[in-house]
Amino acid sequence: MRKIIQSIILILFISNYTFSQNNQPKVETLLSDFPANGFLNVDKDGSLYISEYGVFAKTGGSGKRLYKVAPNGKLLDSITNLSGPIGTVKDADGNLYINNDNNTKRSIILKVDKKGNQTKFAEVKGWPIGMKTDKNGIIYLTNYNSPEIYTIDKKGKVSVFVKDDELIGTAGIDFDSKGNLIVANFATAKIFSINPKGTISKIAELKDIVIQGWGIGHLTVLDDTIYATGIAVSKIFKISLDGKVEVFAGNGKPETKGGLLKEASFNYPNGITSDKKNKILYISEYGAKGGIRKIQL
């Protein structure tokens, strides 16, 4: 009888352990050997827009394409006549806006309507990177080599929303549930909150992750938790709005390997976005031949 009880306990332990392992979030590879290594954006239907920035050459990215990809990894569409595209956003009418042709002194924001027609919507000075829209359809842009965060209204008018030297080097951008803008500095690995009145406060600084000026690639906010890519250290970080920082995923090895969060690896993760409805993180890889990773939370 004692042996039978011990066997039952062992079986229950193994079953519970297996169940626990199977229900933990895992890192999957949605697309491998995929050239789009830049900014990602989730459409309302769950599909992804992914920019092929390429590599920096002379005054801008070498990439030429923007891809639209289904949640299962199927390629749905692409725009092929671009020049180092970076951020993208979509408005309520279905128009797509692309941060394009950026020569580090100015960027052209393209407007692509539902029929595919392209027009110049705005020109922004500096080196704009990330883009997000607020609930009123106003576009916000970070600027890598300038201390401003810009806005673009529905008519294409560009304005300075806030200016501060701490913002030189910003790239990642998103909103929290209260409408505060959350931005990350690529060069310093500092994360800031900017309220609707333009008041800036530091949330956190990710220590010891900046290598040769490469710190945080991009960030996303999901359920008021920040997820940021440590591009040079090949890890994904999780940051609370009150500044608590922890490694969320990645073992630090620059390779593409799936598995449990801390066992998986990323090849220089760069872009990151979240499907807020379905609780999914998507990450683009800058290293090797590129790839798109997926984490179902």
In a domain? residue 231: yes
Measured CA angle at 274 (ends 279, 134), to 5 deg? 115
pTM over 0.85: yes
CATH of the domain at 110: 2.120.10.30
Q: Is the pLDDT of residue 272 over 50?
A: yes
Q: Using CA atoms, how far apart are residues 72 and 82, in angstroms rounded to an integer? A: 25
CA 274 to chain centre: 8
3-state per-residue secondary structure call for the chain = CHHHHHHHHHHHHHHHHHHHHHCCCEEEEEEECCCCCCCEEECCCCCEEEECCCCEECCEECCCCEEEECCCCCEEEEECCCCCCCCEEECCCCCEEEEECCCCCEEEEEEECCCCCEEEEEEEECCEEEEEECCCCCEEEEECCCCEEEEECCCCCEEEEEECHHHCCEEEEEECCCCCEEEEECCCCEEEEECCCCCEEEEEECCCCCECCECEEEEEEECCEEEEEECCCCEEEEEECCCCEEEEECCCCECCECEECCCCEECCEEEEEEECCCCEEEEEECCCCCEEEEEEC
Enclosing domain of residue 134: 25-296
Q: What is the pLDDT of residue 139?
A: 99
pLDDT at 214 over 60: yes
Q: Residue 2: what pLDDT?
A: 59
Report if residue 271 sits inside a domain: yes
Q: What is the mean pLDDT of the chain?
A: 94
Distance of alpha carbon 63 from alpha carbon 285, whole angstroms: 14
Q: Residue 288, exposed/middle/buried by CB under 10 A (0-12, 13-18, 19+)?
A: middle
pLDDT at 182: 99
Residues 84-105, mean pLDDT to the nearest whole number: 96
Cα separation, 10 vs 4, whole angstroms: 10
Name the pLDDT band for 6 (thresholds 50, 70, 90): low
Q: Is residue 280 part of a domain?
A: yes
| pLDDT band, residue 1 (cuts 50/70/90) | low
| Whole-number pLDDT of residue 15 | 45
User: pLDDT confidence of 23, banded at 50, 70, 90?
Assistant: confident
Gap between the Cα atoms of 80 and 52, Å rounded: 10
Structural domain contains residue 14: no
Q: Is residue 4 part of a domain?
A: no
Has residue 234 been placed in a domain?
yes
The pLDDT of 240-258, averaged and rounded, is: 98
Each residue's pLDDT tens digit, 223-248: 999 999 999 999 999 999 999 999 99
Is residue 11 scored above 80 in pLDDT?
no
Q: Looking at the predicted structure, is the pLDDT value of residue 7 above 70?
A: no
Model pLDDT, residue 19: 45
Nearest to 185 by CA among 194, 176, 177: 194
What's the rounded Cα separation, in Å, for the pair 185 and 142?
9
Angle at 232 (CA atoms; ends 48, 219), nearest 5 degrees:
40
pLDDT at 21: 58
Residue 146 pLDDT level (bands cut at 50, 70, 90) = very high
What's the distance, CA 102 to chain centroid? 19
Q: What is the pLDDT of residues 104-141, one digit of tens each?
A: 999 999 999 999 999 999 999 999 999 999 999 999 99
Is residue 148 one of the residues assigned to a domain? yes
Q: Per-residue pLDDT tens for 38-59?
A: 999 999 999 999 999 999 988 8
Looking at the structure of the chain, the number of domains it has is 1
Q: Residue 4: which pLDDT band, with cuts at 50, 70 and 90?
A: low
Across 169-181, average pLDDT = 98
- Give every CB contact of residue 70 below 8 A, 6+ residues apart in sequence: 46, 47, 48, 76
Residues 6 or more apart whose Cβ sits within 8 Å of residue 199: none
Q: C-alpha dihedral over 259, 21, 236, 76, to 10 degrees?
A: 60
Q: 280: number of CA atoms within 13 Å, CB side?
A: 20
Tell me what pLDDT residue 245 has: 99
The answer to the question of residue 6 being in a domain is: no
Residue 5 confidence (pLDDT)? 55
